[in-house]
Amino acid sequence: MPQIEDQILYNQVLAKDKKALEILYDRYEKLVYSFSFKMMGDAQLAEEVVQEVFIKLWRGIGSYEESKGKFSSWLLTITRHTAIDLIRKRKKEATVELEDRDSLVADEKLVEEQVEWKEEGNRLRRAVATLKKEQQSMINLFYFKGFTQQRISEECDIPLGTVKGRIRLALRHLRSYLDDEGRANDDRKEV
């Protein structure tokens, strides 16, 4: 018996032919599973992806056109997107769980730890205040605003080498200042 073409089966699935879906499932389930398992690294999650892919196929989500490529390639694209969506969903759930746990830990934080963090922040602010204005600006943009050195160069209209040099000098100065301040604090503790 000749094999029914994927395009014909796909069109039948769109017309809600359960037998056509069954044939496509039997034909591609292992491919979809192995591809999703490779992405997810988890058998249970890979099975969820397989289920979602064939549900999407049944619901007619997406549209396959034979002229644009093989059915199996199109199906693997759907598999990839479904796996990525599931990964994102799991990550979001884990993040919410971690945030809940972190908020409990933050509430239980010792006063002593909070004081230490505040002192360290004050030390760092004092150290940055001792920098030249150009260096302060570079440190602020690079470390506190998250700009890349290239973006700082473009935003400030200065050569990239100058940006790198100012950041390097600023870090050297900060390290020296903080080391000196640390030694001074140690000397005071010993007295």
* pLDDT at 3 (0 to 100): 73
* pLDDT at 1 (0 to 100): 47
Q: Are 87 and 81 in contact (CB under 8 A)?
A: no
In terms of phi and psi (left: phi > 0; alpha: psi -120 to 50; beta: otherwise), the region of 88 is alpha
The CATH topology of domain 110-190 is Arc Repressor Mutant, subunit A (1.10.10)
* pTM exceeding the 0.95 threshold for the entire prediction: no
Residues of the chain with pLDDT under 50: 1
Every domain of the chain with CATH number 1.10.10.10 lies at: 110-190
Every domain of the chain with CATH number 1.10.1740.10 lies at: 6-104
Domain range 6-104, CATH architecture: Orthogonal Bundle (1.10)
* pLDDT at 61 (0 to 100): 78
| End-to-end C-alpha distance for the chain, whole angstroms | 96
Q: What is each CA distance from 167 to 114, 123, 175, in whole angstroms?
A: 29, 19, 12
- For tokens 């908020």, name the residue: 103
The predicted-structure confidence for 118-145, as pLDDT tens digits, reads as follows: 777 778 888 888 889 988 888 888 877 7
